[in-house]
Amino acid sequence: MTTCHALLISAPASGQGKTFITAALARAWRNQGLRVQAFKCGPDFLDPMILEVATGRPVYNLDFTMCGENDAEAQLYRAAQDADLIIIEGVMGLYDGTPSSADIAVRFNLPVLLTIDAGGMAQTFGALANGLLSHKPKLIPTGVLANKVGSAGHGKLLQDSLPSHLNWFGALQKNEALSLPERHLGLFRAAEISDLEQKIETAANALMQDLPLPPMVTFNSTTNTTLAQSTPPLLAGKTIAIAKDAAFCFIYQANLDCLTDMGANLVFFSLLHDSALPEADAYWLPGGYPELHLQDISSNLAMKDSLTSAFKANKPILAECGSMMALSASINGEPCFDLLPGVSQIEERLQGLGSLKAVLADGELGAHTFHYGSFTTELPPIASAKTRFGKVENIYQHGPIIASFLHFYFASNPALAAQFFTPR
Protein backbone atom coordinates (compact mmCIF):
# COMPACT_ATOMS: atom_id res chain seq x y z
CA MET A 1 0.00 0.00 0.00
CA THR A 2 1.00 3.62 -0.43
CA THR A 3 -0.41 7.00 0.58
CA CYS A 4 -0.91 10.26 -1.29
CA HIS A 5 -2.92 13.44 -0.97
CA ALA A 6 -5.99 12.97 -3.16
CA LEU A 7 -9.44 14.32 -3.96
CA LEU A 8 -12.22 13.95 -6.50
CA ILE A 9 -13.85 17.08 -7.91
CA SER A 10 -17.52 16.90 -8.79
CA ALA A 11 -20.53 19.18 -9.23
CA PRO A 12 -24.35 19.15 -9.13
CA ALA A 13 -24.50 18.70 -12.93
CA SER A 14 -22.59 19.00 -16.18
CA GLY A 15 -21.72 22.51 -17.30
CA GLN A 16 -20.63 23.74 -13.87
CA GLY A 17 -17.01 24.25 -14.89
CA LYS A 18 -15.48 21.07 -13.41
CA THR A 19 -12.68 20.78 -15.96
CA PHE A 20 -11.48 24.36 -15.60
CA ILE A 21 -11.77 24.26 -11.81
CA THR A 22 -9.83 20.98 -11.72
CA ALA A 23 -7.16 22.50 -13.97
CA ALA A 24 -6.94 25.64 -11.81
CA LEU A 25 -6.59 23.65 -8.58
CA ALA A 26 -4.04 21.31 -10.15
CA ARG A 27 -1.96 24.27 -11.34
CA ALA A 28 -2.24 26.04 -7.97
CA TRP A 29 -0.86 22.98 -6.17
CA ARG A 30 1.73 22.46 -8.89
CA ASN A 31 2.85 26.05 -8.36
CA GLN A 32 3.41 25.13 -4.71
CA GLY A 33 6.02 22.66 -5.91
CA LEU A 34 3.86 19.53 -5.77
CA ARG A 35 3.88 16.74 -8.36
CA VAL A 36 0.20 16.57 -9.37
CA GLN A 37 -1.25 13.58 -11.23
CA ALA A 38 -4.69 14.07 -12.81
CA PHE A 39 -7.35 11.54 -13.75
CA LYS A 40 -10.71 11.88 -15.50
CA CYS A 41 -13.74 9.77 -14.61
CA GLY A 42 -15.35 8.30 -17.70
CA PRO A 43 -13.97 7.76 -21.22
CA ASP A 44 -13.45 11.42 -22.12
CA PHE A 45 -10.56 12.47 -24.41
CA LEU A 46 -10.90 16.26 -24.37
CA ASP A 47 -10.91 17.11 -20.66
CA PRO A 48 -7.63 15.19 -20.10
CA MET A 49 -5.96 17.38 -22.73
CA ILE A 50 -6.77 20.44 -20.59
CA LEU A 51 -5.62 18.74 -17.40
CA GLU A 52 -2.35 17.68 -19.03
CA VAL A 53 -1.55 21.32 -19.71
CA ALA A 54 -2.32 22.18 -16.09
CA THR A 55 -0.21 19.41 -14.57
CA GLY A 56 2.51 18.87 -17.16
CA ARG A 57 1.83 15.12 -16.96
CA PRO A 58 -0.16 12.63 -19.05
CA VAL A 59 -3.70 12.13 -17.75
CA TYR A 60 -5.46 8.79 -17.30
CA ASN A 61 -9.10 7.67 -17.28
CA LEU A 62 -11.10 5.87 -14.59
CA ASP A 63 -14.09 4.03 -16.02
CA PHE A 64 -15.29 0.78 -14.48
CA THR A 65 -17.04 -0.42 -17.65
CA MET A 66 -14.45 0.44 -20.29
CA CYS A 67 -11.26 0.18 -18.22
CA GLY A 68 -12.36 -2.10 -15.40
CA GLU A 69 -12.25 -1.65 -11.64
CA ASN A 70 -8.93 -3.50 -11.34
CA ASP A 71 -7.36 -1.17 -13.88
CA ALA A 72 -8.56 1.87 -11.88
CA GLU A 73 -7.09 0.42 -8.69
CA ALA A 74 -3.75 -0.29 -10.35
CA GLN A 75 -3.60 3.13 -12.05
CA LEU A 76 -4.26 4.98 -8.78
CA TYR A 77 -1.76 2.83 -6.91
CA ARG A 78 0.93 3.49 -9.50
CA ALA A 79 0.19 7.24 -9.48
CA ALA A 80 0.40 7.41 -5.69
CA GLN A 81 3.94 6.07 -5.82
CA ASP A 82 5.12 8.90 -8.06
CA ALA A 83 2.94 11.92 -7.20
CA ASP A 84 2.46 14.19 -4.22
CA LEU A 85 -1.20 14.76 -5.01
CA ILE A 86 -3.82 12.95 -7.11
CA ILE A 87 -6.66 15.06 -8.48
CA ILE A 88 -9.61 13.38 -10.22
CA GLU A 89 -12.24 15.17 -12.29
CA GLY A 90 -15.65 13.57 -11.99
CA VAL A 91 -18.19 13.12 -14.77
CA MET A 92 -21.61 14.82 -15.05
CA GLY A 93 -23.21 15.42 -11.63
CA LEU A 94 -21.97 13.79 -8.44
CA TYR A 95 -24.55 10.97 -8.48
CA ASP A 96 -25.10 10.66 -12.24
CA GLY A 97 -24.14 7.51 -14.12
CA THR A 98 -23.41 3.90 -13.22
CA PRO A 99 -21.03 3.98 -11.53
CA SER A 100 -21.29 7.63 -10.56
CA SER A 101 -18.46 9.87 -9.43
CA ALA A 102 -19.77 9.32 -5.90
CA ASP A 103 -19.51 5.53 -6.37
CA ILE A 104 -15.88 5.87 -7.50
CA ALA A 105 -15.11 8.17 -4.58
CA VAL A 106 -16.55 5.67 -2.09
CA ARG A 107 -14.80 2.71 -3.73
CA PHE A 108 -11.36 4.32 -3.30
CA ASN A 109 -12.07 6.42 -0.16
CA LEU A 110 -11.51 9.62 -2.11
CA PRO A 111 -12.44 12.93 -0.44
CA VAL A 112 -14.86 14.96 -2.56
CA LEU A 113 -14.63 18.64 -3.38
CA LEU A 114 -17.78 20.12 -4.88
CA THR A 115 -17.68 22.96 -7.39
CA ILE A 116 -20.96 24.81 -7.90
CA ASP A 117 -21.96 27.43 -10.46
CA ALA A 118 -23.13 30.05 -7.96
CA GLY A 119 -24.80 32.36 -10.45
CA GLY A 120 -28.23 33.40 -9.24
CA MET A 121 -27.93 32.03 -5.71
CA ALA A 122 -26.75 33.12 -2.28
CA GLN A 123 -27.44 31.18 0.96
CA THR A 124 -28.95 28.31 -1.01
CA PHE A 125 -25.35 27.56 -2.01
CA GLY A 126 -24.61 26.08 1.42
CA ALA A 127 -27.79 24.03 1.52
CA LEU A 128 -27.11 22.61 -1.94
CA ALA A 129 -23.51 21.73 -1.09
CA ASN A 130 -24.41 20.17 2.25
CA GLY A 131 -27.29 18.18 0.77
CA LEU A 132 -25.22 16.73 -2.06
CA LEU A 133 -22.26 15.81 0.11
CA SER A 134 -24.39 14.20 2.82
CA HIS A 135 -26.71 12.27 0.49
CA LYS A 136 -24.44 9.21 0.51
CA PRO A 137 -23.29 8.61 4.10
CA LYS A 138 -20.05 6.86 3.06
CA LEU A 139 -18.92 9.89 1.06
CA ILE A 140 -15.99 11.85 2.50
CA PRO A 141 -16.69 15.59 2.02
CA THR A 142 -13.64 17.82 1.97
CA GLY A 143 -14.92 21.18 0.78
CA VAL A 144 -16.61 23.43 -1.75
CA LEU A 145 -15.46 25.88 -4.42
CA ALA A 146 -17.75 28.46 -5.99
CA ASN A 147 -17.63 29.17 -9.72
CA LYS A 148 -18.97 32.15 -11.70
CA VAL A 149 -19.29 34.38 -8.63
CA GLY A 150 -20.56 37.91 -9.18
CA SER A 151 -18.34 39.82 -6.76
CA ALA A 152 -16.20 39.53 -3.63
CA GLY A 153 -19.30 40.30 -1.56
CA HIS A 154 -21.22 37.55 -3.33
CA GLY A 155 -18.38 35.15 -2.57
CA LYS A 156 -18.50 36.09 1.13
CA LEU A 157 -22.24 35.28 1.22
CA LEU A 158 -21.56 31.89 -0.32
CA GLN A 159 -18.72 31.11 2.07
CA ASP A 160 -20.78 32.09 5.10
CA SER A 161 -23.63 29.80 3.99
CA LEU A 162 -21.49 26.66 4.34
CA PRO A 163 -21.80 24.48 7.45
CA SER A 164 -18.67 24.47 9.59
CA HIS A 165 -17.57 20.95 8.54
CA LEU A 166 -17.19 21.94 4.87
CA ASN A 167 -13.94 23.72 3.94
CA TRP A 168 -14.04 26.76 1.68
CA PHE A 169 -11.67 26.36 -1.27
CA GLY A 170 -12.33 29.81 -2.68
CA ALA A 171 -14.15 31.23 -5.68
CA LEU A 172 -13.65 32.16 -9.32
CA GLN A 173 -15.54 35.19 -10.53
CA LYS A 174 -17.70 35.14 -13.64
CA ASN A 175 -15.36 36.16 -16.43
CA GLU A 176 -15.13 35.14 -20.08
CA ALA A 177 -11.37 34.88 -19.60
CA LEU A 178 -11.99 32.14 -17.03
CA SER A 179 -14.00 29.78 -19.25
CA LEU A 180 -13.31 27.25 -21.99
CA PRO A 181 -14.88 27.13 -25.49
CA GLU A 182 -16.99 24.13 -26.52
CA ARG A 183 -18.29 22.39 -29.66
CA HIS A 184 -20.49 19.36 -30.42
CA LEU A 185 -18.25 16.73 -28.80
CA GLY A 186 -17.31 18.84 -25.78
CA LEU A 187 -14.49 21.26 -25.06
CA PHE A 188 -12.13 22.45 -27.76
CA ARG A 189 -8.84 20.58 -27.92
CA ALA A 190 -6.22 22.11 -25.66
CA ALA A 191 -4.01 22.92 -28.66
CA GLU A 192 -6.82 25.00 -30.21
CA ILE A 193 -7.11 27.34 -27.20
CA SER A 194 -4.30 29.81 -27.81
CA ASP A 195 -4.49 31.41 -24.36
CA LEU A 196 -5.14 28.21 -22.38
CA GLU A 197 -1.90 28.45 -20.40
CA GLN A 198 -2.75 32.02 -19.42
CA LYS A 199 -6.33 31.09 -18.50
CA ILE A 200 -5.19 28.27 -16.21
CA GLU A 201 -2.46 30.36 -14.57
CA THR A 202 -4.83 33.28 -14.01
CA ALA A 203 -7.43 31.01 -12.44
CA ALA A 204 -4.83 29.32 -10.23
CA ASN A 205 -3.62 32.69 -8.99
CA ALA A 206 -7.21 33.77 -8.27
CA LEU A 207 -7.70 30.92 -5.83
CA MET A 208 -6.81 31.12 -2.16
CA GLN A 209 -3.09 31.70 -1.62
CA ASP A 210 -3.12 29.32 1.34
CA LEU A 211 -5.05 26.65 -0.55
CA PRO A 212 -5.42 23.71 1.86
CA LEU A 213 -4.12 20.30 0.85
CA PRO A 214 -6.71 17.52 0.57
CA PRO A 215 -6.45 14.60 3.01
CA MET A 216 -4.05 11.71 2.60
CA VAL A 217 -5.55 8.57 1.06
CA THR A 218 -4.20 5.02 1.22
CA PHE A 219 -4.07 3.19 -2.11
CA ASN A 220 -3.74 -0.58 -2.43
CA SER A 221 -3.23 -2.85 -5.40
CA THR A 222 -4.70 -6.28 -4.87
CA THR A 223 -4.18 -7.13 -8.54
CA ASN A 224 -0.97 -5.92 -10.21
CA THR A 225 1.60 -3.80 -8.44
CA THR A 226 2.62 -2.42 -11.82
CA LEU A 227 0.60 -2.68 -14.98
CA ALA A 228 3.66 -3.33 -17.15
CA GLN A 229 4.58 -6.49 -15.23
CA SER A 230 1.33 -8.18 -16.22
CA THR A 231 1.47 -7.22 -19.91
CA PRO A 232 2.86 -9.89 -22.28
CA PRO A 233 5.53 -8.73 -24.79
CA LEU A 234 3.33 -9.63 -27.75
CA LEU A 235 4.52 -6.71 -29.88
CA ALA A 236 8.24 -6.95 -29.17
CA GLY A 237 10.24 -5.68 -32.11
CA LYS A 238 7.18 -4.23 -33.86
CA THR A 239 6.86 -0.60 -34.92
CA ILE A 240 3.37 0.87 -34.73
CA ALA A 241 2.76 4.19 -36.47
CA ILE A 242 0.02 6.32 -34.92
CA ALA A 243 -1.84 9.20 -36.60
CA LYS A 244 -1.78 12.29 -34.41
CA ASP A 245 -2.76 15.75 -35.61
CA ALA A 246 -5.61 18.26 -35.36
CA ALA A 247 -8.10 15.88 -36.98
CA PHE A 248 -7.00 12.59 -35.41
CA CYS A 249 -6.15 13.01 -31.76
CA PHE A 250 -8.40 10.90 -29.51
CA ILE A 251 -5.69 8.79 -27.91
CA TYR A 252 -5.69 7.32 -24.41
CA GLN A 253 -2.31 7.60 -22.72
CA ALA A 254 -3.05 4.17 -21.21
CA ASN A 255 -3.23 2.75 -24.77
CA LEU A 256 0.20 4.15 -25.58
CA ASP A 257 1.54 2.70 -22.32
CA CYS A 258 -0.02 -0.67 -23.10
CA LEU A 259 1.56 -0.82 -26.57
CA THR A 260 5.01 0.07 -25.23
CA ASP A 261 4.56 -2.38 -22.34
CA MET A 262 3.98 -5.06 -24.99
CA GLY A 263 7.31 -4.13 -26.57
CA ALA A 264 6.14 -1.95 -29.46
CA ASN A 265 8.12 1.00 -30.78
CA LEU A 266 5.75 3.92 -31.38
CA VAL A 267 6.12 6.58 -34.07
CA PHE A 268 3.68 9.36 -34.93
CA PHE A 269 2.62 11.01 -38.16
CA SER A 270 -0.04 13.29 -39.61
CA LEU A 271 -2.76 12.00 -41.92
CA LEU A 272 -3.53 15.60 -42.80
CA HIS A 273 -0.12 16.99 -43.67
CA ASP A 274 2.37 14.17 -44.26
CA SER A 275 2.72 12.90 -47.80
CA ALA A 276 3.48 9.29 -46.83
CA LEU A 277 3.06 6.85 -44.00
CA PRO A 278 6.18 6.14 -41.96
CA GLU A 279 7.67 2.67 -42.33
CA ALA A 280 5.94 0.47 -39.75
CA ASP A 281 4.59 -3.00 -39.09
CA ALA A 282 1.07 -1.72 -38.33
CA TYR A 283 -0.93 1.50 -38.17
CA TRP A 284 -3.34 2.93 -35.61
CA LEU A 285 -5.65 5.68 -36.84
CA PRO A 286 -7.54 7.10 -33.81
CA GLY A 287 -10.71 9.16 -33.79
CA GLY A 288 -11.04 12.91 -33.81
CA TYR A 289 -12.55 15.64 -35.98
CA PRO A 290 -12.11 14.73 -39.66
CA GLU A 291 -15.29 16.66 -40.48
CA LEU A 292 -13.47 19.90 -39.59
CA HIS A 293 -10.56 19.16 -41.96
CA LEU A 294 -12.19 17.76 -45.09
CA GLN A 295 -10.28 20.04 -47.47
CA ASP A 296 -6.93 18.80 -46.13
CA ILE A 297 -8.07 15.18 -46.30
CA SER A 298 -9.47 15.35 -49.83
CA SER A 299 -6.42 17.19 -51.18
CA ASN A 300 -3.80 14.88 -49.63
CA LEU A 301 -3.68 12.48 -52.57
CA ALA A 302 -0.14 11.39 -51.69
CA MET A 303 -1.31 10.12 -48.29
CA LYS A 304 -4.23 8.37 -50.01
CA ASP A 305 -1.74 6.55 -52.25
CA SER A 306 0.42 5.65 -49.27
CA LEU A 307 -2.55 4.23 -47.36
CA THR A 308 -3.51 2.22 -50.45
CA SER A 309 0.01 0.80 -50.64
CA ALA A 310 -0.09 -0.22 -46.96
CA PHE A 311 -3.49 -1.84 -47.55
CA LYS A 312 -2.18 -3.81 -50.54
CA ALA A 313 0.87 -4.85 -48.51
CA ASN A 314 -1.51 -6.33 -45.89
CA LYS A 315 -0.28 -4.01 -43.14
CA PRO A 316 -2.69 -4.13 -40.16
CA ILE A 317 -4.66 -0.89 -39.79
CA LEU A 318 -6.94 -0.09 -36.86
CA ALA A 319 -9.31 2.79 -37.69
CA GLU A 320 -11.44 4.17 -34.86
CA CYS A 321 -14.49 6.42 -35.22
CA GLY A 322 -13.41 9.54 -37.16
CA SER A 323 -10.63 7.59 -38.84
CA MET A 324 -13.11 4.97 -40.03
CA MET A 325 -15.09 7.82 -41.58
CA ALA A 326 -11.92 9.24 -43.16
CA LEU A 327 -11.11 5.86 -44.73
CA SER A 328 -14.56 5.69 -46.34
CA ALA A 329 -15.29 7.10 -49.78
CA SER A 330 -16.60 10.40 -48.46
CA ILE A 331 -17.74 12.47 -45.47
CA ASN A 332 -20.69 14.75 -46.11
CA GLY A 333 -20.14 14.19 -49.81
CA GLU A 334 -16.51 15.34 -49.72
CA PRO A 335 -14.01 12.73 -51.04
CA CYS A 336 -11.82 10.97 -48.47
CA PHE A 337 -9.15 8.25 -48.53
CA ASP A 338 -11.57 5.68 -50.03
CA LEU A 339 -10.15 2.46 -48.55
CA LEU A 340 -13.40 1.31 -46.96
CA PRO A 341 -16.44 0.67 -49.17
CA GLY A 342 -19.10 3.00 -47.86
CA VAL A 343 -19.89 6.66 -47.18
CA SER A 344 -19.98 8.69 -43.98
CA GLN A 345 -22.11 11.56 -42.79
CA ILE A 346 -22.20 13.89 -39.79
CA GLU A 347 -25.76 13.83 -38.49
CA GLU A 348 -27.58 16.54 -36.56
CA ARG A 349 -28.30 14.27 -33.59
CA LEU A 350 -26.03 12.16 -31.42
CA GLN A 351 -25.63 8.68 -32.95
CA GLY A 352 -23.79 6.75 -30.23
CA LEU A 353 -22.99 7.17 -26.52
CA GLY A 354 -21.73 4.94 -23.75
CA SER A 355 -19.03 2.66 -22.36
CA LEU A 356 -19.30 -1.04 -23.14
CA LYS A 357 -17.53 -4.35 -23.57
CA ALA A 358 -16.96 -5.40 -27.18
CA VAL A 359 -17.05 -9.18 -27.63
CA LEU A 360 -14.88 -10.38 -30.50
CA ALA A 361 -14.02 -13.89 -31.64
CA ASP A 362 -11.06 -14.19 -29.25
CA GLY A 363 -12.27 -12.31 -26.20
CA GLU A 364 -13.71 -9.13 -24.72
CA LEU A 365 -12.30 -5.61 -24.96
CA GLY A 366 -13.38 -2.46 -23.15
CA ALA A 367 -14.51 0.39 -25.39
CA HIS A 368 -16.70 3.46 -25.60
CA THR A 369 -18.65 5.33 -28.25
CA PHE A 370 -19.59 9.01 -28.58
CA HIS A 371 -20.23 10.37 -32.07
CA TYR A 372 -22.54 12.21 -34.43
CA GLY A 373 -21.31 10.27 -37.45
CA SER A 374 -22.95 7.56 -39.52
CA PHE A 375 -21.30 5.02 -41.83
CA THR A 376 -23.32 3.39 -44.59
CA THR A 377 -21.70 0.26 -46.00
CA GLU A 378 -22.46 -3.17 -47.39
CA LEU A 379 -19.61 -4.68 -45.39
CA PRO A 380 -20.92 -7.34 -42.97
CA PRO A 381 -19.85 -6.71 -39.37
CA ILE A 382 -17.46 -9.22 -37.81
CA ALA A 383 -18.85 -8.29 -34.37
CA SER A 384 -21.36 -5.92 -32.78
CA ALA A 385 -21.52 -4.29 -29.38
CA LYS A 386 -24.50 -2.73 -27.65
CA THR A 387 -24.47 0.20 -25.22
CA ARG A 388 -26.71 0.26 -22.17
CA PHE A 389 -28.96 2.59 -24.15
CA GLY A 390 -29.51 -0.09 -26.79
CA LYS A 391 -27.41 1.47 -29.56
CA VAL A 392 -25.57 -1.15 -31.62
CA GLU A 393 -22.05 -0.39 -32.83
CA ASN A 394 -20.56 -2.62 -35.52
CA ILE A 395 -16.95 -3.69 -35.98
CA TYR A 396 -15.91 -4.22 -39.59
CA GLN A 397 -13.00 -5.95 -41.28
CA HIS A 398 -11.93 -5.15 -44.82
CA GLY A 399 -8.66 -6.78 -45.78
CA PRO A 400 -6.12 -5.76 -43.12
CA ILE A 401 -8.37 -2.97 -41.79
CA ILE A 402 -10.37 -3.27 -38.58
CA ALA A 403 -12.77 -0.33 -38.29
CA SER A 404 -15.51 0.79 -35.94
CA PHE A 405 -17.03 3.82 -34.27
CA LEU A 406 -15.75 2.29 -31.02
CA HIS A 407 -12.71 3.64 -29.23
CA PHE A 408 -10.95 0.64 -27.67
CA TYR A 409 -9.15 0.54 -24.32
CA PHE A 410 -6.19 -1.74 -24.96
CA ALA A 411 -5.21 -2.34 -21.33
CA SER A 412 -8.54 -4.07 -20.66
CA ASN A 413 -7.26 -7.02 -22.75
CA PRO A 414 -3.71 -6.49 -24.07
CA ALA A 415 -3.55 -9.87 -25.81
CA LEU A 416 -6.68 -9.08 -27.81
CA ALA A 417 -5.52 -5.53 -28.55
CA ALA A 418 -2.23 -6.91 -29.89
CA GLN A 419 -4.20 -8.80 -32.56
CA PHE A 420 -5.25 -5.46 -34.09
CA PHE A 421 -1.59 -4.91 -34.97
CA THR A 422 -0.73 -8.44 -36.10
CA PRO A 423 -1.10 -9.50 -39.76
CA ARG A 424 -4.31 -11.43 -40.39
User: Worst-scoring range by mean pLDDT, 76-90, 93-107, 206-220, 324-338?
Assistant: 206-220
Examine residue 225 and state whether it is found in any structural domain, yes or no. Answer: no
Both 174 and 262 in a single domain? no
123-159 pLDDT tens trace:
999 999 999 999 999 999 999 999 999 999 999 999 9
Indicate the residue among 154, 189, 219 that finishes a domain. 219
Residue 225 has pLDDT above 70, yes or no: no
Examine residue 100 and state whether it is found in any structural domain, yes or no. Answer: yes
Provide the CB-side half-sphere exposure for 207 (13 A, CA). 28
DSSP readout, 264-275? -EEEEE-TTT-S
What is the domain count for the chain? 2
Residue 71 has pLDDT above 90, yes or no: yes
Range 268-272 average pLDDT: 98
Examine residue 75 and state whether it is found in any structural domain, yes or no. Answer: yes
Give the pLDDT band of residue 35 (cuts 50, 70, 90).
Answer: very high
Both 309 and 170 in a single domain? no
Give the pLDDT band of residue 209 (cuts 50, 70, 90).
Answer: confident
Q: Which residues contact 283 (CB under 8 A, 6 or more apart)?
A: 240, 241, 242, 243, 277, 310, 315, 316, 317, 318
- Tell me the percentage of the chain whose pLDDT exceeds 70: 97
Residue 226 has pLDDT above 70, yes or no: no
Both 213 and 336 in a single domain? no
Contact present, 372 and 350 (Cβ < 8 Å) = yes
Predicted confidence at residue 115, as pLDDT, reads 96
Residue 324: CB atoms within 10 Å: 29
Average pLDDT, the chain: 93
Both 141 and 279 in a single domain? no
Examine residue 224 and state whether it is found in any structural domain, yes or no. Answer: no
Q: Which residues contact 175 (CB under 8 A, 6 or more apart)?
A: none
Predicted confidence at residue 60, as pLDDT, reads 98
Both 238 and 369 in a single domain? yes
Options 67, 258, 321, 336, the catalytic residue: 321
Q: Which residues contact 153 (CB under 8 A, 6 or more apart)?
A: none
Contact present, 117 and 110 (Cβ < 8 Å) = no
Indicate the residue among 219, 239, 261 that finishes a domain. 219
User: Worst-scoring range by mean pLDDT, 163-167, 193-197, 272-276?
Assistant: 193-197
DSSP readout, 158-216? HHHTS-TTSEEEEEEE--GGG---EETTEEPPGGG-TTHHHHHHHHHHHS-TTPPPPPE
Residue 418 has pLDDT above 80, yes or no: yes
Reply yes or no on whether 321 is catalytic: yes
Q: 331-334 contacts: CB < 8 A, separation 24 or more?
A: 331/290, 331/291, 331/294, 331/297, 331/373, 332/291, 332/294, 334/294, 334/295, 334/297, 334/298
Examine residue 424 and state whether it is found in any structural domain, yes or no. Answer: no
Both 240 and 386 in a single domain? yes
Predicted confidence at residue 393, as pLDDT, reads 95
Both 123 and 271 in a single domain? no
Indicate the residue among 219, 253, 279 that finishes a domain. 219
CA of residue 282 relative to chain centroid, distance: 24
Both 242 and 289 in a single domain? yes
The sign of the CA dihedral 121, 126, 132, 135 is: negative
User: Worst-scoring range by mean pLDDT, 172-176, 281-285, 329-333?
Assistant: 172-176
Q: Which CATH number goes with the domain that contains 296?
A: 3.40.50.880
Query: Rounded to whole angstroms, how far apart are CA atoms 91 and 403?
Result: 28
Q: Which domain holds residue 16?
A: 2-219
Examine residue 196 and state whether it is found in any structural domain, yes or no. Answer: yes
Both 282 and 175 in a single domain? no
82-102 pLDDT tens trace:
999 999 999 999 999 888 999
Range 258-275 average pLDDT: 97
Give the pLDDT band of residue 327 (cuts 50, 70, 90).
Answer: very high
Residue 185 has pLDDT above 70, yes or no: no
Both 393 and 328 in a single domain? yes
Both 159 and 43 in a single domain? yes
Both 160 and 16 in a single domain? yes
Residue 227 has pLDDT above 70, yes or no: no
Range 268-280 average pLDDT: 98
Q: Which CATH number goes with the domain that contains 15?
A: 3.40.50.300
